[in-house]
Amino acid sequence: MDRLDAMEAFVRVAECRSFSEAARRLNLSKSVISRQVSTLEQELGARLFNRTTRSLTLTEVGGAYLERCQRILADIEEANQSVSNLQAAPRGKLKVSAPVPFTTQHLGPALPDFLARYPEVEVDIALNDRFVNLVEEGYDLAIRVGRLDDSSLIAKFLAPARMAVVGSAAYLAERGAPTNPEELNQHCCLLYSNLTTPDEWSFVAPDGRKSTIEVKGRLRANNGDVLRQAALAGLGLVMLPTFIVGPDLQAGTLVQVLEDFVPQQIGIYAVYPHARHLSPKVRAFVDFLAERFGPRPYWDLVL
């Protein structure tokens, strides 16, 4: 048995949580993958997976072995790629997951310039406001906005994502502008339901005091553009990143409130599965986006 082939089969099964999907990605039969993993377990004298008819999970030993195998395979891939022409032009299909508002307003308009710069690259972009599993769903990278949790993914900071609480001039004329977060209980708020706690907004006072305010309103949605339209229509206040509402603030159709209380701790990131040596197409795309949007985004320049 080729030990490296068996290790790769084990890694793919662990990442996919499926023998069938691992076999498909390696272009092998399921029986071959199953035999390689079973033989590997016999040679190691340890069970790597807990198998049931409904689930496949790593054992404690399997989890530790997975990390080592991933590093070994990454080293081999890096060695192989170092022999090839690392300056080769980026080429091939690039599969990307990105959030809807950021893509429609900023990433989408940037794609023609990227494709013109790299004519041998194809981009397949899926718009998702949820966090996709890059490995299981076969994405090369994802664009994510927020504070990133620790994970096995590599994150490249692209640009800051400044938050703002905004409302229309008509709404503020009718209801008054809040001067501190506690006054939000007198206002209708528009809630972004993709958050863990959409009805709680966090603030930091100028003196550093933190607070979490429970807000309420008649509309919640899992899409920032929908909430922006509602705010423009005078339905209430909303907390959104300025890459969504920046043009409205510049035009005066939305007005910012509580500016001194809104924490600025999130960013826009490109994330991709860990690999010490990026493929040229992924590296080119990440570098292009960092150049395009950072370090000070154009949507904040006149705010």
CATH class of domain segment(s) 92-161+266-300: alpha beta
Is the pLDDT at 303 greater than 60, yes or no? no
Give the tens place of pLDDT for each residue, 199-220.
999 999 998 899 999 999 999 9
**Phi/psi at 123 (5° precision):** -115, 125
CATH class of domain segment(s) 3-83: mainly alpha
- The CATH architecture to which 163-261 belongs is 3-Layer(aba) Sandwich (3.40)
Is the pLDDT at 87 greater than 60, yes or no? no
Asked if 92-161+266-300 and 163-261 have one fold, the answer is: yes
Burial of 231 (0-12, 13-18, 19+ CB in 10 A): buried
In the chain, domain spans: 3-83, 92-161+266-300, 163-261
Give the tens place of pLDDT for each residue, 168-204.
999 999 999 999 999 999 999 999 998 889 999 999 9
Question: How many other C-beta atoms can be found within 10 angstroms of the C-beta atom of residue 222?
Answer: 15
Query: What is residue 289's three-state secondary structure?
Result: helix
* Residues 97, 13: Cα–Cα separation, whole Å: 23
